[in-house]
A and B are shown apart, each in its own frame.
Chain A
Amino acid sequence: MIRGLWDRETVALLMIAAVAPLAAAWLWYGGVPAALRLVMMLLIAGAWHLIFLLARAQPPSYAGALTALAVAMLAPGGLGPLQIALGLSFGVVMGELVFGGWGRNIVNPATVTAMFLGFGFPAAGWPGVTAPLAWAAIGGVALGVGFGVMSARLAAGAIVAAAIAWAAGMAPDRAWMAAAVVFVLLVADPVTSAATALGRWLEGAAYAGLVVLFAANWQGATPVQLSVAAAFLASLAAPLLDELALWAWLQRRGRIHG
């Protein structure tokens, strides 16, 4: 009997391929400091994967590189190496590895890291997002959807909610670029986003709705900060939205089939 190739690592590699344009744009504009930051994140995440490989027999995953990239791009800057290492270790270990590694985690480790650093060191400045990065992020979503590793429904839900907000005159002009980058790096993760059709529409809409809400009402928050917070809350809500979607599906089936 024949087997396909779509195991966990294939999906992780395709995710990396999807965000590659974004990473390339970020490295191009960030130069050597950005590259050094990425290398440091890769080393820390890789070290934790190695420790869990030896201590818990958990095979390492290429998804660790995704986490490293997302943290390097989105975590607050201006922190010392110790603080960064502390934040990333917390995110990678408590967000992913203690659950059994990528594929079993319930929140994205990069989201946890960024939130942890944001709460722990509120004086640190959040990075900005420029237009080329935002366009690369949109290309990344298109690639990910084309590869089948990111959900088209998730993206459509976010776009529909953003369009409604725009029509209502609540367009988050200052946040949309950061929101796009955060979407491709954190929200579109297939493991921690919703897994049902309706749940994905709802989660996408919830993410965009939260971004709109925070952009309008959160005084003093930078675009990346509020987008990361929206991604965190949306991914926490994902299991609930999945349950809602399944409940609705079962109700409909119950009505049809008795």
Chain B
Amino acid sequence: MRLPARRGLTVPVGASPAPDAPIVTMLSDEAAVQPAPGEVLRVAPLVAAGDIVAAGAPLARLRHAPEITLTAPMPARVAAVDLAPGRILSRILLFHEPGADRTHLDVSGASDAGGLRDLLLASGAWRLLRRRPFGRMPPPGERPAAIFVMAVDSRPAAPDPLRALEGAEADLDRGLAGLAMLTDGPVLLCLPVGADPALGRGVPRLRRIEVGDGHPLGLAGMQVHALHPARGDRPVWDLHVEDAAAIGGLLRSGSMPETRLVSVAGDALRAGRLVRTQPGAHLGALSRDLTRPGPHSVLSGSALDGHEAGFLGPRDRQVTVLVRRAAARPPHWFVAALGRASRPRPLIPTAALEQALGGSIPAAPILRALAAGDAETAQRLGALSLVEEDLALADYVTGAVPRFSALLRVFLDRAAIEHEGAEAA
């Protein structure tokens, strides 16, 4: 199946690595295990400050789902376990410890769905999965209606997923076969046009989807919305193709790969670069030597949907360093009051807005429904298939205040509460 080739927009972000730039391996001395922005993880820590842990060793379990384990991305000494009141994880800070070992899990039981599920939960690979609706980690017992594996990423300056895959094609097939055990529905492998036809061959219930270039077509949300919309009773998972290969590697060797491919880009850099680094790496260590002098902010994620952070987010594959513009003189109080009085700002449907949602979603109706708080219409038009990153381009294009991605998060959180209530009743 093939989706229309050329749609969407191109967003300039300053220096970015060429698609075929050399890949350097840079392991930072510090790394942190932390929740995704907005995610609340109540944890029971298994380590304390000062402990030496092997790579892949469990660091904490979730209190409401103790099967889900957070694991160390590298051999390390635990520097700090920061919990907010309510045992909400802020971060677990790790210092690299060269002597420490690597954990190998027993993979002999992973030949059926239950065993594979236990392996993913115990190895920390569960965190690589994202569930729609609501855009969070799936609950441990869930069986999704479909799994999307994204081998395209159209965000500005994103690393090419197929390059991340080089040398791991066999692991990918193993990982896809494992993912197929976790669902009764299809596994949809989204590939760029003209990708190697051998990828994923022989995997049961696999559908290859060819995706054209242009942001936002390479976001999982657009593909989920078009091909297999998520609903409360029909959840859909998505993960990056490199993570699918990592699951294959886990099935082969019993441990997760040490590194992932990350691009470093942004207008505050002299040049971009492609690095292989550990999950949760320190962002400054990856970008500091390329940064031009002057004030700047470091984001985990792309220039559109990234968040200012010190460490790489759980699913992020981009570091963006942006020039921090000097704060303009605060506007006159009257002008400022006017700006606040007219929120949410009106939405003018333009061609750019349509392209910002890929052209196949009725952009103005769904965004107007979100801005007006009309949850029923938003849900009817498929907002449950989307997460914040899918509306980041619409935020960029319209300069919306408040951001549509924030409004979508409010809608999703409210829908999640209603869904829980309906299930409990």
B346 adjacent to A104 (CB under 8 Å): yes
Asked whether any CB of chain B lies closer than 8 Å to the CB of A4, the reply is: yes
Partner-binding segment picked from A29-37, A114-122, A175-183, A190-198: A190-198
Determine how close the nearest CB of chain A comes to the CB of B344; give it in whole angstroms: 10
A190 adjacent to B349 (CB under 8 Å): yes
Q: Interface residue tally of chain B, by bracket?
A: 35 or more
Determine how close the nearest CB of chain A comes to the CB of B407; give it in whole angstroms: 16
A4 adjacent to B399 (CB under 8 Å): yes
Closest to B342 in A: A59
Given contacts A1-B299, A1-B305, A246-B381, whether A253 and B346 have CB atoms under 8 Å apart is no
Q: Interface residue tally of chain A, by bracket?
A: 35 or more
CA A102 to CA B348, docked complex, whole Å? 9
A30-49 Cβ-contact flags toward B at 8 Å (1 or 0): 00000000000000000000
A1's contact among B306, B339, B365, B397, by CB below 8 Å, is which? B306
Asked whether any CB of chain A lies closer than 8 Å to the CB of B351, the reply is: yes
Q: Which residues of B110-137 are within 8 A (CB) of A?
A: none
Contact residues in B for A249 (Cβ distance below 8 Å): 362
Closest to A200 in B: B349
Determine how close the nearest CB of chain A comes to the CB of B367; give it in whole angstroms: 10
Contact residues in A for B11 (Cβ distance below 8 Å): 2
Closest to A59 in B: B338
B399 adjacent to A6 (CB under 8 Å): yes
Contact residues in B for A8 (Cβ distance below 8 Å): 345-346, 348
Determine how close the nearest CB of chain A comes to the CB of B112; give it in whole angstroms: 29
CA A104 to CA B347, docked complex, whole Å? 8
Contact residues in A for B352 (Cβ distance below 8 Å): 4, 6, 148
Contact residues in A for B342 (Cβ distance below 8 Å): 57-59, 100-101
A4 adjacent to B398 (CB under 8 Å): yes
Asked whether any CB of chain A lies closer than 8 Å to the CB of B327, the reply is: no
B367-394 Cβ-contact flags toward A at 8 Å (1 or 0): 0100000000000111000000000100
Asked whether any CB of chain A lies closer than 8 Å to the CB of B350, the reply is: yes
Asked whether any CB of chain A lies closer than 8 Å to the CB of B172, the reply is: no
Contact residues in B for A148 (Cβ distance below 8 Å): 350-352
Contact residues in A for B306 (Cβ distance below 8 Å): 1
Q: Which residues of A127-154 are within 8 A (CB) of B?
A: 145, 148-149, 151-152
Given contacts A2-B304, A196-B362, A196-B365, whether A7 and B345 have CB atoms under 8 Å apart is yes
A250 adjacent to B380 (CB under 8 Å): yes
Contact residues in B for A5 (Cβ distance below 8 Å): 399
CA A146 to CA B382, docked complex, whole Å? 30
Closest to B382 in A: A253
Determine how close the nearest CB of chain B comes to the CB of A157; give it in whole angstroms: 15
Asked whether any CB of chain A lies closer than 8 Å to the CB of B229, the reply is: yes
Asked whether any CB of chain B lies closer than 8 Å to the CB of A203, the reply is: no
Q: Which residues of A11-57 are within 8 A (CB) of B?
A: 11, 53, 57
Determine how close the nearest CB of chain B comes to the CB of A41; give it in whole angstroms: 22
Chain B residues within 8 Å of A, Cβ to Cβ: 11, 13, 228-229, 299, 303-307, 322, 337-339, 341-342, 345-354, 362, 364-365, 368, 380-382, 392, 395-399
Query: What are 15 A-to-B residue pairs whose CB atoms are below 8 Å?
Result: A1-B304, A2-B304, A3-B399, A7-B398, A11-B348, A57-B337, A58-B342, A148-B351, A151-B351, A190-B349, A191-B346, A195-B362, A196-B362, A197-B362, A246-B381
* 9 nearest A-B residue pairs (beta carbon): A103-B346, A148-B351, A195-B364, A57-B341, A7-B399, A195-B349, A11-B348, A4-B396, A196-B362
